[in-house]
Amino acid sequence: DYGITDNLGQVTLSGLSPGAYTFGAYPNNAQVGVFLVDPNIFGCFQSYGPVTTNCDTTQANDLCQDAEVLSCGMQLVGSTRGATSQDIGNGCEKLPGAGVWYRIIGTGETMTVSTCSQTGADSLMLSLYKGDCGDRRCAIHYWENTLCANGNREITFKSAPGTPYLLYVSHLEGRGQAFTLDMSCAPGGSRMSAPYPNPSTGLFEMDITCQTSQFMTWEVVNGQGQLVAQGRKWLLEGFHLETIDLREADHGMYLLRCLMDTGEQFTHKLFVMPR
């Protein structure tokens, strides 16, 4: 039996016998790497790609009324390629390029939406509205985005329970751009970006912001659940750039688990490529 996964958050297909399988779907212009693993043999791993999807098509969430749902813990891939929607206004400044829409329902938690888990998306802008399509008001301008260490952008806001929000993702220069959106929610206000670059040859970085000083405990396990690396670190209130070093590990897929003293948990897949 084999397992198949990818670098864009696809749930692993496992228990597969040899045959043909459909994997995806992926947005236009996405950078996709597919990984075939044998869970019974440690380190048995084959990668394909990355390849770039190339299908000129209007995005399904091109218009506000067709906004895609985004919620806590989700990772979505999207693209502005083929987008036509340019209806900003309502207090947020209009950008040169068209964009796509996402809908978020507030939970009362601090929410972070980030494009920081990938590279090369530094021209993407995030605008946040409070309300629905017919009655929305600008909450965060694109020029208020927070810059990540790799130049990409993210936004963080305290959500109101049950309140709808609209996220507009567009390209500063009006070009089509594939992207990955990660959304995390933190009752205690801690937030952590998805590790980047991912895949890598073993070094992964994460942007972490703590509202209070606390310990972070982390561990990395392989496909058999065996512990590969672990650590515990005291983080002061504020921003931190943390590194996970798996350069001594075999290439393959791993799972990173991070636990904060506040009880918040973050889980991410890590892909170590052959060196």
Q: What does the mean pLDDT of the chain come to?
A: 81
**Segments making up each domain of the chain, as ranges:** 2-52, 64-186, 191-272
Place of tokens 């990668």: 47
CB 50 within 8 A of CB 34: no
| Predicted model pTM | 0.53
Starting at the earlier edge strand, list the strands of the sheet with 203-210: 191-192, 203-210, 238-245
Parallel, antiparallel, or unpaired for β 153-158 and 146-147?
Answer: antiparallel
Q: What is the pLDDT of residue 157?
A: 85
Q: What is the pLDDT of residue 249?
A: 94
CB 263 within 8 A of CB 215: no
Q: What is the pLDDT of residue 150?
A: 79
pLDDT lower than 50: segments of the chain: 42-43, 45, 54
For the stretch 167-222, pLDDT in tens is 999 887 777 788 889 998 876 667 788 899 999 999 999 999 887 788 999 999 99
Sign (positive or negative) of CA dihedral 120, 125, 128, 133: negative
Q: What is the pLDDT of residue 271?
A: 94
Domain covering 64-186 assigned CATH 2.60.120.10 in the classification: no
Q: What is the pLDDT of residue 43?
A: 45
CB 158 within 8 A of CB 191: no
Q: What is the pLDDT of residue 233?
A: 93
Which CATH number is correct for 191-272, 3.30.750.24, 3.30.1380.10, 3.30.420.40, 2.60.40.2550? 2.60.40.2550
Q: What is the pLDDT of residue 272?
A: 94
CA distance 221 to 203: 15
Long-range contacts of 214-219 (CB under 8 A, 24+ apart): 214/190, 214/260, 214/261, 214/262, 215/260, 215/261, 216/242, 216/258, 216/259, 216/260, 216/261, 217/258, 217/259, 218/244, 218/256, 218/257, 218/258, 218/259, 219/256, 219/257
Q: What is the pLDDT of residue 131?
A: 93
